[in-house]
């Protein structure tokens, strides 16, 4: 049974879908939900499901990313995860943090990578006149949003879409894609999942 730690920054809807998926014959179980924001509402939701939670407020560390990550590392290492899922975790991790978990850390990103790494993905897709958008799950490497692809789901861009409307349509697919990818990944299969 693989042990999974999940990192969040906010509401944690993807985290919840992942936690809820890890039951029965699933090859993994959640062992920790951690956040860089003690106010992240996802923490209480995870705790209500019986998952241990931890938070390390990045604001206490100013610009010292290494010190923040050293603090974040403590609950993570204590939970002894085999796999780390970034699920709406909005801090960029340093290469030295990533290196410790390379090959066992996943992220979900709200664009069809390699398009639109970084922020404001939906507005950028609209501004570019794209006819489809989507989300990607990938392995985390030192380069932002650029690791090997593990899954992708597509949605149409509709006439009159706003970034908010598009984000909501993509999020529905995120909730389908990430649990499918994690199940496959935890069973040792790294071939990508494609949904549309």
Residues with a known catalytic role: 109
Annotated ligand binding at 107? The verdict is yes
Q: Considering the rule CB under 6 A, would residue 174 count as an interface residue with ligand GAR?
A: yes
Contacting residue, 108, 133, 137, 157, with ligand GAR by CB under 6 A: 108
SS3 194: strand
Terminal CA-CA length for the chain: 30
Confirm or deny that 59 is annotated as ligand binding. no
Please report how close the Cβ of residue 181 comes to ligand GAR at its closest, in angstroms.
13
- According to CB under 6 A, which one of 14, 35, 36, 152 is a site residue for ligand GAR? 14
Q: Which residue is nearest to ligand GAR (CB)?
A: 88
Please provide the DSSP assignment of 92-129 as one string: PPPHHHHHHHTTSEEEEESS-TTS--SS-HHHHHHHTT
Q: Say which DSSP state 36 is in.
A: S
Residues numbered 109 to 168 that lie near ligand GAR (CB under 6 A) are 109-110, 135
CB closer to ligand GAR out of 76 and 106: 106
Least distance between ligand GAR and beta carbon 112 (Å): 12
Determine the Cα–Cα distance for residues 164 and 153; give it in Å rounded to an integer: 18
What is the spatial distance between Cα 58 and Cα 152, in angstroms, rounded to a whole number?
Answer: 30
Q: Check whether 36 is labelled as a binding-site residue.
A: no
- Going by C-alpha positions, the residue among 2, 1, 196, 5 that lies closest to residue 106 is 5
The reply to whether 7 sits near ligand GAR by the rule CB under 6 A is no
**Binding-site member from 28, 54, 87, 157 for ligand GAR (CB under 6 A):** 87
DSSP 8-state secondary structure symbol assigned to residue 61: G
User: How far is the C-alpha of 134 from the C-alpha of 127, rounded, in Å?
Assistant: 15
State the binding site: 12-14, 65, 107
Residues contributing to the site for ligand GAR (CB under 6 A): 8, 10-15, 87-88, 108-110, 135, 171, 174
């Amino acid at each position: 049974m693989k042990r999974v730690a999940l990192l969040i920054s906010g509401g944690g809807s993807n985290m919840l879908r992942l936690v809820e998926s890890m039951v029965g014959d699933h090859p993994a179980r959640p062992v920790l939900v951690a956040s860089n924001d003690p106010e992240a509402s996802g923490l209480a939701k995870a705790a209500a499901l019986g998952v241990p939670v931890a938070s390390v407020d990045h604001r206490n560390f100013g610009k010292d990313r290494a010190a923040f990550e050293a603090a974040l590392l403590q609950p993570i290492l204590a939970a002894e995860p085999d796999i780390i899922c970034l699920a709406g975790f909005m801090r960029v991790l340093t290469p030295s943090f990533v290196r410790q978990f390379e090959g066992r850390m996943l992220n979900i990103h709200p664009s069809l990578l390699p398009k639109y790494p970084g922020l404001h993905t939906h507005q950028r897709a609209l501004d570019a006149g794209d006819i489809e958008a989507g989300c990607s799950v990938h392995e985390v490497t030192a380069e932002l949003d650029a690791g090997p692809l593990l899954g992708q789901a597509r949605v149409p861009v509709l006439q009159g879409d706003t970034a908010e409307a598009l984000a909501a349509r993509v999020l529905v697919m995120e909730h389908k894609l990430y649990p499918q990818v994690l199940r496959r990944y935890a069973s040792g299969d790294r071939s990508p999942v494609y949904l549309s």
